[in-house]
Structure 1
Amino acid sequence: MALRVTFVLPVFPRAPVGGFRVVYEHANRLTALGCQVTVVHERWREGWSRPLRHLREAARDHRHRRAPHRAIDWLPVDPRVRLLIVPALTPAHLPSGDVVVATHWKTATLLPYLTPAHGSPVHLVQGYETWNVPDPAPVHQALRLPFPKITVSTHLTRVLSDLGVHSGQITTVPNGLDRTTYRPPPTGAPRAGVAFLLSDSAAKDSRTALAALHQVRAHHPALLARAFGVAPRPRDLPPWIHYAQGLTGEDLAAQVYRPSAVFLCSSTTEGWGFPAAEAMACGTAVVSTRNGGVEDFCHHNQNALLVEVGNPTAMANAIRRLLDDEPLRTRLSTAGLATTATMDWQQSTAALLTALKAIS
């Protein structure tokens, strides 16, 4: 009998988001393996404190309900995957099934109220989601709920253990990577400059990345930087920083990762770290903060250079070191390619399915 899996996401996506991508990637492959997969999203709940946005986003969700698969244009979702946008995340709006997978701390708060008909509850932990949360206590409470946990990194497994979650409740299933999309350029293709993610999220700490790049440019006046993000180009972004909005997949690889000599990850925290992994798979040398998630696959002076969080001078020095030392850059990027060669979505989903069957 086919396993019936329900994923619960907090909202319907407005832009490419790593945690959403993980769910849809698994949904596609679980479906190919014979599972019946439903992904439930809560309707946008901005509230009337911002009436114009509330109405705009509510109208968008209403429109997307008619053809949700077409609305996710940044990643093809198997048409056999059932996508639902529901008025509220309550048990009444969830289908019956064998297992229910919460994918965010807020969606995990629904798990205690499910009935056996919904299926066995499990929390897929994709990040230590305390950013933009004034008090981490509700996050900790959700993470400590007495349900099985599946983490995407050993870093998150340690976070849960430090919060008192028993190791027997935790299974680690690392994310995969689409290496047909994220691949190096032809041998000898020129590389120059630094790539980085530009975001207004405090967890990405783009302000420190920009400060670091200004320091690098003081020594490399011709430095070219390539930034990418989901928002429009900031008005105060210097002209020497090229900016691309909304790139994903092959466009992101071709226009940002592959032409760049160095990729900078400035995050204060990562559950896993897709951009760093994608850049590494494209043969770009990586400088990253010690932010947790990337440390599962980024190892200092072996396949990347790691620096402390929030230190622009350390970031700048690491970038300069790679720009000035081509043999070092080549050694790290070659090792990075070997590292990412082990990242595979098929293996990741197979491990997830094994864990879900054991829970159900």
Structure 2
Amino acid sequence: MRITFVLPVFSRVPSGGFRVVYEYANRLVARGHQVTVVHEQWYEGWGRPVAHLREVVRDRWHSRVPGGLHRWLRWMVVDDAVRMTMVGKLEARSLPEADVTVATYWTTALLLPQLSARQGRGVHLVQGYEIWGVAEPKRVDEVLRLGVAKVVVSHYLAGVLEKVGVPRANVTVVQNGLDHGAYRPPVPDGERGASVSLLVGTGPQKGSVVAVAALERVRDVVPELRVNAFGTEKRPGFLPEWVGYSRAGNGPEQAGAAYRASAVHLCSSVEEGWGFPVAEAMACGTAVVVTRNGGAEDFCAHEENSLLVEVGDAEGMASAVVRLLRDQGLRERLVRSGLATAAGMDWEKSTDRFLAALMSAR
């Protein structure tokens, strides 16, 4: 089968949503399918002319040199058999012939009703409720209601789509897998001390400012607290000096090192379509404190494999972290259960289900 994925940009930094697309592309070509991933060229905008020209020149260079996009994607390996392309502007006419064309973001889904017969069936892969930073969120709902098949990565998102008017029969849930080669406990796994890992972002959806407020409270009670924070941006200004920070260039190596060095992982997100950092931390043998952010609740159960707290509740986060740092028995029990949860996340099984959804799409 010929499959086209349409991505809104070419991401030079680790991204969970992009990783899902490249994971499927790798596994589908390994099964003999022809896969093309189309990216739109990045435009910084003429408000920053130097940066704009630099980005245009760089994208054009890497997209025209054979294998350029494969080499430029430094945070993940994409099989050479995957056709990586870039276009100046995403339009239906710029997409290749295919049996199925998969939109991966709400703006790319606008192309699906415009597909010709040669571009195949349209499928919308929904990885989040993508209203963050959108001037008119109702436009996102309108796109979700388009009459094309939907594949969502969590039961939470299936519920979101149903609420905005998408028929449940038009939605297939295919939960994500996990790279167990990258995310695993250290051997041997020694004492991790009073330590917490934290994915930091400046976007409001990550709730990082609240997480820092929570950790300030933890430090009042546990003064030896060590925080292993990481992210894709330059060190944010709201991080106190006592918080260690590593800027991620390679997602799995950077994140895995932070999880494996920490006794607890804190996820403070306001909303998640799935929740890769939580699953990754579990796979690394790290106990998890996570907000009731939607997607992570697909696999997180309070007091069973994690401690769940309310979104925005700094006091609740602090209390849960302190509890895990002080109660070794509870922490070890949650770690064992988390490892079992993560072990069930299998990219090959996810690919089976994803491929079945593509083949049955109408």
Q: TM-score, normalised by structure 1?
A: 0.97
Distance 1:236 1:157 in 2: 35
SS at match of 1:268: coil
CA displacement, residues 141-187 of structure 1 (integer Å, 9 cap, x when unaligned): 11111000000000000101111111110111111001121111224
Distance 1:120 1:235 in 2: 46
Q: 1:354 to 1:236 in 2, by over 3 A?
A: closer
SS at match of 2:13: coil
Identity of aligned residues (%): 54
Q: Which moved more, 1:10-19 or 1:51-60?
A: 51-60
Q: Please, which runs of 5 or more residues in structure 1 have no aligned partner?
A: none
1:102–1:111 CA contact under 8 A, matched in 2: yes
Q: Please, which runs of 5 or more residues in structure 2 have no aligned partner?
A: none
2:13–2:249 CA contact under 8 A, matched in 1: no
Distance 1:336 1:353 in 2: 28
Q: 1:142 to 1:291 in 2, by over 3 A?
A: same
Q: 1:177 to 1:254 in 2, by over 3 A?
A: closer
SS at match of 1:38: strand
Q: 1:206 to 1:331 in 2, by over 3 A?
A: same
Partner in structure 2 of residue 317 of structure 1 = 319
Distance 1:42 1:91 in 2: 12
* Matching residue's letter, 1:25: E
Partner in structure 2 of residue 260 of structure 1 = 262
Q: 1:188 to 1:117 in 2, by over 3 A?
A: closer
Partner in structure 1 of residue 223 of structure 2 = 221
Q: 1:274 to 1:254 in 2, by over 3 A?
A: closer
Partner in structure 2 of residue 171 of structure 1 = 172
* Aligned pairs for 1:317-356 within 5 A: 317-356=319-358
Matched, 1:152 2:153: yes
Partner in structure 2 of residue 246 of structure 1 = 248
Partner in structure 2 of residue 195 of structure 1 = 197
1:196–1:226 CA contact under 8 A, matched in 2: yes
Residue 344 (structure 1) shift = 0.4
Distance 2:154 2:56 in 1: 34
SS at match of 1:203: helix
Partner in structure 2 of residue 8 of structure 1 = 6
2:14–2:251 CA contact under 8 A, matched in 1: no
Matched, 1:295 2:294: no
CA displacement, residues 210-255 of structure 1 (integer Å, 9 cap, x when unaligned): 1111111111111100110111223553232111111535523552
Partner in structure 1 of residue 25 of structure 2 = 27
SS at match of 1:106: helix
Distance 2:62 2:127 in 1: 25
Partner in structure 2 of residue 113 of structure 1 = 114
Q: 1:247 to 1:87 in 2, by over 3 A?
A: closer
1:182–1:249 CA contact under 8 A, matched in 2: no
* Matching residue's letter, 1:84: T
Q: 1:188 to 1:24 in 2, by over 3 A?
A: closer
Q: 1:57 to 1:356 in 2, by over 3 A?
A: same
Q: TM-score, normalised by structure 2?
A: 0.96
Q: Which moved more, 1:278-287 or 1:230-239?
A: 230-239
Distance 2:90 2:333 in 1: 49
Residue 55 (structure 1) shift = 1.6
Partner in structure 1 of residue 72 of structure 2 = 71
Distance 1:304 1:99 in 2: 38
Distance 2:253 2:127 in 1: 25
SS at match of 1:84: strand
Q: How many residues align?
A: 358
Q: Which moved more, 1:42-51 or 1:144-153?
A: 42-51
Distance 1:60 1:208 in 2: 37
Distance 2:344 2:215 in 1: 31
Distance 2:276 2:249 in 1: 14
SS at match of 1:348: helix
Residue 50 (structure 1) shift = 2.8
Distance 2:157 2:99 in 1: 25
Matched, 1:307 2:305: no
Q: 1:100 to 1:309 in 2, by over 3 A?
A: same
Matched, 1:104 2:105: yes
Distance 1:300 1:216 in 2: 20
Distance 2:148 2:237 in 1: 46
